[in-house]
Amino acid sequence: MAADKTPQLLDYTFTAPIEKDGAFATFLTVPGSAELLGTRRAVKVVGILDGEHPFEATLMPSGDGPHWLPLRVALCKAIGKSLAGEEVSVRLQQRLT
């Protein structure tokens, strides 16, 4: 990793419905992510789901739109949500890459 790739603090909060498709079993769309992060590439982040469940994940680029936040099965179990359309609040706290 390059020396200038130090973690950056973020304080970005949003609420999004769970989505499902073939690329990722369960994911959230991160609105405004390309502008927030300054890239359309994959970015590792840490944050909190629904105000109390910490996570670390890689935001995946959707092509020409915002990033997707994949939700692993363990995270879905922790927040008690996995159905398409269920709302999840997210606070991105730190960008790792």
Instruction: Identify whether 3 is part of a domain.
Output: no
* H-only helix segments in the chain: 33-37, 73-79
Instruction: Identify whether 53 is part of a domain.
Output: yes
Q: Are 22 and 52 in contact (CB under 8 A)?
A: no
Q: Are 56 and 70 in contact (CB under 8 A)?
A: no
pLDDT the model gives residue 33: 95
* CATH number of the domain that residue 60 is part of: 2.40.30
Q: Which residue has the tokens 């304080």?
A: 11
Q: Are 76 and 23 in contact (CB under 8 A)?
A: no
Domain count, the chain: 1
Domain span at 32? 8-82+91-95
- Give every CB contact of residue 28 below 8 A, 6+ residues apart in sequence: 16, 17, 18, 19, 68, 69, 71, 88, 90
What tens-digit pLDDT sequence spans the chain (97 residues)? 444 567 899 999 999 999 987 656 899 999 999 999 999 899 999 999 999 999 999 999 988 889 999 999 999 999 999 999 999 999 999 999 9
Lookup: tokens for 78? 């922790």
Instruction: Identify whether 65 is part of a domain.
Output: yes
Instruction: Identify whether 21 is part of a domain.
Output: yes
pLDDT the model gives residue 62: 87
